């Protein structure tokens, strides 16, 4: 779940910000682990990345604060507001234990990709509450 890719649609990107600026934003996106590419043969573009990577890209673009970046900043902000931030492993484990107190350590480790010590600690914290 933490590595889930999200897509931001950027319609008519080249027409709105220009080819050079789009290339610059594309290189910045790659530095942050995102990808900006064209949708098939249309004039529409899209940005793909995980929640954290898209958020880092947004912060960098906001720091540059260029008027040409404003279109991409608005699209990224709109998407990130709709998406819930990913839960930490501890939060995932607490949620699993709240939903099913009889879940085994092995099931918890399989679902959340955590290690044994994290699962045991979560179980201990849940039992002390």
In this structure, are 76 and 108 located in the same domain? no
Q: What domain range includes position 104?
A: 89-128
In this structure, are 35 and 64 located in the same domain? yes
Task: Give the whole-angstrom CA distance, residue 9 versus residue 22.
Answer: 14
Whole-prediction pTM: 0.71
Q: How far is CA 74 from the centre of its chain?
A: 16
Task: Give the whole-angstrom CA distance, residue 1 versus residue 13.
Answer: 29
Using the predicted structure, report yes or no on whether residue 73 has a pLDDT greater than 50. yes
- Helices first, then strands: H and E counts in the chain: 7, 3
Task: Tell me if 94 is assigned to some domain.
Answer: yes
In this structure, are 93 and 62 located in the same domain? no
The band of 1, judged by pLDDT with boundaries at 50, 70 and 90, is: very low
In this structure, are 105 and 70 located in the same domain? no
Task: Tell me if 1 is assigned to some domain.
Answer: no
**What was the pLDDT predicted at 129?**
67
The count of domains in the chain is: 2
In this structure, are 42 and 68 located in the same domain? yes
In this structure, are 11 and 66 located in the same domain? yes
In this structure, are 20 and 77 located in the same domain? yes
């Amino acid at each position: 779940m933490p590595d889930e890719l999200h897509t931001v649609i950027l319609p008519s990107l080249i027409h709105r910000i220009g080819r050079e600026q789009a290339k610059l934003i594309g290189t910045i996106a790659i530095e942050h682990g995102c990808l900006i590419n064209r949708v098939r043969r249309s004039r529409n573009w899209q940005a793909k990345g995980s929640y954290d990577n898209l958020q880092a890209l947004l912060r960098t673009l906001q720091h540059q604060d260029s008027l040409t970046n404003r279109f991409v900043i608005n699209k990224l902000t709109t998407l990130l507001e709709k998406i819930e931030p990913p839960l930490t492993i501890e939060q995932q484990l607490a949620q699993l234990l709240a939903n099913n107190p009889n879940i085994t350590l092995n099931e918890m480790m399989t679902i959340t990709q955590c290690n044994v010590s994290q699962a045991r600690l979560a179980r201990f914290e849940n039992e002390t509450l």
